Amino acid sequence: MGRKFLVPVNGSPLSFAALRYVLDEHPDASILAIHVIDPTEPGYSTATDVDITAEPLHGSTDWYERAYAEEATVFDEVEAIAAESSISIETDRSVGDPADMIVRYAEENDIDHIIMGSHGRESTSRLLLGTVAELVVRRASVPVTIYRE
């Protein structure tokens, strides 16, 4: 049986580019795309720009409905990318801290490798706060490849 790759997708162009990379480089692998809704970060889980002053109250039922609608948009794009390559991609979802959920998902589902997009910012804020990609790299028990353009 082939290797199992986990590709976190959050609606960003780089997350989709990482997915295309896996499809191109590992066409015989089992590929799973996961989307994590982050209830603590209004903008992380959305494929479109978010104006938090005009959005439903963060954490409300309306907010979660919007988050799931955004997730559907993300998975529509995943399906379109899969169709381009004629390779089947499984999808799954989670709610929680993205880095924690990605690492936990990899451990609980026998994932061999995580590949994710990242901007690779070199700022002080990145060093203080960390990024999802950086936290996954530090915590994952499997290899992690960071895709940047």
Q: Look over the chain and give the mean of its residue pLDDT values, rounded to a whole number.
A: 86
C-alpha–C-alpha distance, residues 77 and 124, integer Å: 33
Instruction: Tell me what pLDDT residue 83 has.
Output: 95
Closest by CA to 66, choosing from 53, 56, 76, is 56
Q: Which CATH number fits domain 4-147: 3.40.710.10, 3.40.50.620, 3.30.530.20, 3.20.20.70?
A: 3.40.50.620
User: Is-contact 36 95, C-beta < 8 A?
Assistant: yes
**Which of 25-29, 99-103, 122-126 has the highest average model confidence (pLDDT)?**
99-103
User: Is-contact 115 29, C-beta < 8 A?
Assistant: no
Q: Which two tokens stand for residue 81?
A: 């990318």
Domain boundaries, the chain: 4-147
- Which tens digit of pLDDT belongs to each residue from 24-64? 999 999 999 999 998 887 555 555 555 656 666 667 888 88
- pLDDT higher than 80, residue 140: yes
Query: pTM, whole model, 2 decimals?
Result: 0.85
Q: What is residue 90's three-state secondary structure?
A: strand
Q: How far is CA 119 from CA 65, 94, 116, in A?
A: 28, 22, 10
